Amino acid sequence: MSDQAWYRDLARPIDHAARAAADARNQRLTKPAGSLGRLESIAVDFAGWQGSEEPAVPRAIIRIFAGDHGVCRRGVSAYPQEVTAQMVANFLAGGAAISVLAEQVGADLGVVNMGTVPPESGEPVYAPLIPEPDTGGPSFVDVQLMPGTDDFSTGPAMPPAVCEAAMAVGRDQVAMAAGEPALFVGGEMGIGNTASASALCSLLLDLPPSDTVGPGTGVTGEALQAKRRVVEQALDLHRDECTDAVDGLARLGGLEIAGLVGAYIACAQQGVPVLVDGFISSAAAVAAATINPGVVPWLCFSHRSAEPAHVTVLRHLNAEPLVDFGMRLGEGSGAALVVPLVQSAVALHSGMATFDEAGVSDSEK
């Protein structure tokens, strides 16, 4: 893997002058200082991201990356592997949680098949639902880089070239956000991907599987212990051979996780803020930030997942999520739920009058 690869290019710098101007404006708005709490800091963040004292309300760009995992054959999930492709069909049909939330917030929703296991019957269950271009509904991109990853407990999850290709797919999904005030939300779907995210976090953060492996889709008891043993086996196999974070992503990651990593890096390079979802999306954020540290200032963390290791990951990233509703669905659902809150923060900051504009007496200085 070349050191000159696109994902190592510098991120766009934050506009600190715009942040300072927005902070000063915030102090002049017709409200007691600090009375809007974290809404105020969100608005200042957007000023720095957009380079404007009065940032525009961003439109959400939601992309769900789907991929299967070879490690599923080790029993790491409570659901069968065919659910991945079935949920892709559900996304396209508008029946999933993220489908409902994306419509509610007026988001640009797209689904990307990174690589799912072909059904025995031949044609994927989602094939009849693929929309024609410009017919409304979610967009669909079918790249199928490989039919799911290989079992990372016995070898690398994917070849290095496939990992780089998956990152490039994520990068390309960000390009359509250029030129408009946007907020990127990355979702994921892949039965078995909490095992992959846990292994990746253990590798990159030097943590034991007991700290990173959780129930995911609902495994408990001996099944959870077995899941931890599978991740430990994978770490024993790959840890000493891993050369860098991109290599670690190829060895232990998923196609959909690599897509998220590429998207997050591209967002930072193109000046598009990211609203990060739960544990798996945050594991992708750890990988992205390890590969390209300039990503970190462009990340906003939407919610604290009920997946136990998410707290550890957030602590590593020095991130304080906006809400905690005990969610652990994935799909980008927690982030989509927070989109209106973020949009309200920007609208309040840019739309409220200052004391001078409203002719309202300010507090005594």
Catalytic positions are 331
Give the largest CA-CA distance in the chain: 74
Cβ count near 136 (within 10 Å): 6
Cβ count near 330 (within 10 Å): 27
- Residue 218, classified by CB atoms within 10 Å of its CB into exposed (0-12), middle (13-18) or buried (19+), is exposed
Look at the block and give the residue holding tokens 């766009």. Answer: 12
184-212 residues labelled b (16+ CB within 10 A) or e (exposed): bbbbbbbbbbbbbbbbbbbbbbebebeeb
Cβ–Cβ < 8 Å for 1, 313: no
Q: Which amino acid makes up residue 54?
A: E
State both tokens at 206: 């030097």
Distance CA 246, CA 7 (A): 10
Beta strands in 21-75 (DSSP E): 59-67
Distance CA 346, CA 38 (A): 11
Q: Which amino acid makes up residue 88?
A: V
State both tokens at 321: 């999520």
Q: From 64, 168, 166, 56, select the one nearest 108 (Cα to Cα).
A: 64
Distance CA 285, CA 275 (A): 11
